[in-house]
Structure formats: structure tokens, C-alpha cells
């Protein structure tokens, strides 16, 4: 039989073990609670002049339906600690940023403050109130509020005696991402990030082209990189881009009901899609499917879809190992660069136009892209168009369609489908 002292020792040990297991169980539950909480978006969706966001406190705004979150962030993969104020999808992993305020001027530490000033302007500042980004609006009102919508739109509202009005909204100033509910007009532009970890403005811009329903990607500010729907002598619209709806135009002032409701209603059918001007030069359309972003389509779709991929008088075939070659009667302008895979200088004629020693003829090319025509005539017969071009030593090519004769006399030719190129 156990004596009293032995029973007491065993009971004490049992109590100690039980207590240890209890602490372990409590700690595990606490750890699990913290882990789950890190994935939950729970914060206010609005801000006033008396309630700024402070990065050092981890303050954020979260839209009412917990779709988007606004706060300070450092891009994933960046190690210098630079901080930006941005909007990203709430709950989605990895973090997907759709808008950045101070993309050209990041903060160096975690003392960032995002405030709504008394004059209605928004400010991103550091602890010394040095401004890193701000809106520049003028208003006579003294009552303002800021709200993050479930559409991803950050809306600044001016309250007045006869109702309320939208004074400023982030949808009017997109960065690299188009969200459902934004508008596409002559001022619309998406500018790529500089790299996956640097939100600063990059090399590529996506905007409307000169023709109706045409889109264009510009490189380095002014160089055409890609144009939608260039085919034959006419430009067709790329219908896939219209999968993303434009926000209707209209007065943003309301006296009956909240302006938030009207904005939010435009994003009903496209809640899980986004259009991104990628830093690689592609415009990309994503859909959220099966707990991940799926790349649905992109342009340029291949290396030959890039504008002027092979330079002047060069043809491109993406199925070939070396995609570029010169048209018959032409040769690389820079043979050494051509061999190295640099086709930007294109090709030049092997014989001058109107040479007495060369029989002038035309080479028919289909599905080719060309520059803007220099001359346009109405002719009832294609032969008239051809002879007109042939009679001019500076006429490089022509295209004839529906009694319209288009002639190209400068070297921007052949970069209109079904063109006749002189050689």
C-alpha cells in the first residue's frame, strides 16, 4: 500500500501535468485565434478629420462588405521597408493592390499618417507632417467624410445644406488597375508599375486610341507599342475589352439618398474581375476563380502582336524560331543587330524606287499592319489606284478597299492588311 506521502507526490505530479496540458491547450487556442484574426478584415469603412489612419497603429479602412481594404503597405518581396498608402482586396492572398496614392514618393518608416484635413484635402504625411501625397481640391464647405466602397472606390463626400456631393474619388485617378465601375473616357489611362515590387510609374500606359473603340499601349511615353483590332484597312473594336463595363456619366450630386449607393450598384456583375497594365507591357484581364486569380486573356498575345515588331518593311511570324524577316526586295538595315535579335531598325530596299534598271511591281501582303496612310483617293477601279502609286517615285505601297485608295509615301509603311507593297 502507498503511504500518504507517496499518494500526495503522485497527485501533485498529476496536477502539474494536467495544468501543463491546460496551459498548452489555452496557448494553442490563443495562437489559432491570432492566426485566424490576421486573415479577418474588421475595421471602419469611413474617416473624418478627427480620425486619421496611423501606420504605426496598424489602422486601416475596410469596405462594409469586407471586399477592399485601405492602409499602408510594403510591396511583397521588397526589403527596404518603403511604405505606400494603397487599396487592396480584403481576404485575398497574396495581397493584390489595386490603387496606390504616393506611388512616386514612398515613406521610409512606419510613422505614416493618412488624414482628411479641415479644408477637405487628403494627405499622406510622416510624423513630422511632411507631405508625401495630397489631393488638390478647393471647397467652401466645412463638412467632409471619406468612405471606402465595396467597389474599391475611395470617395470623398462634401456635405452641404441641400444634400451631398462627391468632391473627389480614386476611380478618377487609377494607377495600373481598372476596376468595374470605373469610366473610360478621353482622360482614362492606366500606368504600369516599374516592377513587381515598385509601384512607381513604369514604361507602359494603356489608354484610348485615336479611332473609335480602339485601345493603345504606349511605351516610354510616346512610342506606340500595341493597338487593338488593327485588321485590313479598317480598325475593328476588340470586343473582349468590353467585358469590363464603363461607369455611366452623370451628375454626381444627390439630394435624395446617398451617392455611395449609386456608385456601388455599377459593380454588381463584375465583382471579381480586374484589368491590369502589367510592367511587362501586357494588358491583362483577371478573374477570381477557385480561390485564385486566373489570367483570362492578355494583349499583346504574342511577340508579333507588338506594334512595329520587325521594323519597317519587316514581316513577323510568331511560330518561327526567328520571328522576323525582310520582305522580298528588302534587306536588314543593320545586319549585325538583326543577327543579335534586334529588329527595331527594320529593312531597307535593295534597289531604289523608279530605278531604270528595275522592273517596278507590287507584292501583295495580307494581314499586315502599316502606318497611317499619307494620301487617300476615291477610285472606281483598283488599277487606277495602282497606276497612281506607280507613277510616283515616293509611293511605297497602296491598299484598295470599297473604292477607297490609300497610299503610303513615307517609311512608316508596313508595320494595312492586304497592302500592295512596291518592290
pLDDT digits (tens, 9 = 90+) for 391-408: 887 788 888 877 888 887
pLDDT at 4: 44
Q: Identify the residue with better confidence: 370 or 321.
A: 321
| pLDDT at 168 exceeding the cut of 80 | yes
pLDDT digits (tens, 9 = 90+) for 211-245: 777 889 999 988 889 888 653 332 333 444 544 44
pLDDT at 230: 52
| pLDDT at 67 exceeding the cut of 50 | yes
Using alpha carbons only, how large is the chain's radius of gyration in Å?
Answer: 31
pLDDT at 359: 58
Q: How much is the mean pLDDT over the chain?
A: 77
- pLDDT band for 264, please (50, 70, 90 cuts): very low
- pLDDT band for 389, please (50, 70, 90 cuts): confident
pTM of the predicted model as reported, rounded to 2 decimal places: 0.73
pLDDT at 89: 95
What mean pLDDT is predicted for residues 300-308?
84
- pLDDT band for 356, please (50, 70, 90 cuts): low
Q: Examine residue 94 and say whether the peptide bond preceding it is cis (omega within 30 degrees of 0).
A: yes
pLDDT > 70 in the chain, percent: 73
Amino acid at each position: 500500500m502507498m503511504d500518504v506521502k507517496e499518494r500526495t507526490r503522485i497527485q501533485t505530479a498529476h496536477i502539474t501535468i494536467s495544468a501543463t496540458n491546460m496551459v498548452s491547450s489555452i496557448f494553442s487556442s490563443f495562437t489559432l485565434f491570432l492566426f485566424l484574426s490576421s486573415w479577418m478584415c474588421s475595421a471602419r469603412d469611413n474617416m473624418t478629420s478627427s480620425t486619421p489612419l496611423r501606420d504605426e497603429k496598424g489602422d486601416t479602412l475596410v469596405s462594409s462588405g469586407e471586399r477592399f481594404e485601405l492602409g499602408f503597405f510594403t510591396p511583397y518581396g521588397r526589403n527596404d521597408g518603403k511604405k505606400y498608402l494603397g487599396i487592396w482586396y480584403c481576404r485575398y492572398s497574396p495581397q493584390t493592390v489595386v490603387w496606390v496614392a504616393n506611388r512616386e514618393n514612398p515613406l521610409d518608416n512606419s510613422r505614416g499618417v493618412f488624414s482628411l484635413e479641415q479644408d477637405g484635402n487628403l494627405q499622406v504625411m510622416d510624423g513630422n507632417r511632411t507631405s508625401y501625397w495630397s489631393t488638390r481640391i478647393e471647397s467652401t464647405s466645412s463638412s467632409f467624410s471619406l468612405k471606402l466602397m465595396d467597389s474599391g472606390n475611395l470617395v470623398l463626400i462634401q456635405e452641404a445644406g441641400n444634400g451631398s456631393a462627391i468632391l473627389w474619388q480614386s476611380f478618377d485617378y487609377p494607377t495600373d488597375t481598372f476596376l468595374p465601375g470605373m469610366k473610360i473616357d478621353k482622360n482614362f489611362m492606366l500606368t504600369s508599375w516599374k516592377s513587381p515590387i515598385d509601384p512607381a510609374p513604369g514604361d507602359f500606359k494603356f489608354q484610348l486610341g485615336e479611332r473609335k473603340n480602339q485601345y493603345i499601349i504606349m511605351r516610354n511615353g510616346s512610342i506606340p507599342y500595341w493597338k487593338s483590332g488593327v485588321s485590313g484597312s479598317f480598325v475593328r473594336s476588340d470586343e473582349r475589352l468590353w467585358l469590363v463595363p464603363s461607369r455611366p456619366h452623370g451628375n454626381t450630386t444627390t439630394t435624395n439618398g446617398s451617392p455611395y449607393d449609386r456608385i456601388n450598384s455599377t459593380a454588381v456583375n463584375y465583382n471579381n474581375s480586374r484589368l491590369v497594365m502589367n510592367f511587362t507591357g501586357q494588358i491583362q484581364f483577371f478573374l477570381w476563380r477557385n480561390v485564385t486569380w486566373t489570367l483570362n486573356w492578355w494583349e499583346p498575345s504574342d511577340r508579333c502582336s507588338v506594334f512595329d515588331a520587325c521594323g519597317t518593311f519587316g514581316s513577323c511570324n510568331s511560330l518561327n524560331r526567328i520571328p522576323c524577316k525582310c520582305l522580298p526586295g528588302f534587306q536588314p538595315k543593320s545586319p549585325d543587330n538583326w543577327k543579335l535579335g534586334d529588329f527595331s531598325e527594320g529593312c531597307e530596299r535593295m534597289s531604289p524606287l523608279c530605278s531604270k534598271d528595275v522592273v517596278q511591281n507590287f507584292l501583295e501582303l495580307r494581314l499586315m499592319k502599316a502606318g497611317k496612310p499619307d494620301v487617300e483617293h476615291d477610285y472606281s477601279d483598283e488599277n487606277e489606284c495602282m497606276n497612281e502609286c506607280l507613277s510616283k517615285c515616293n509611293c511605297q505601297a497602296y491598299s484598295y478597299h470599297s473604292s477607297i485608295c490609300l497610299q503610303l509615301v513615307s517609311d512608316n509603311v508596313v508595320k494595312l492588311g492586304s497592302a500592295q507593297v512596291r518592290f
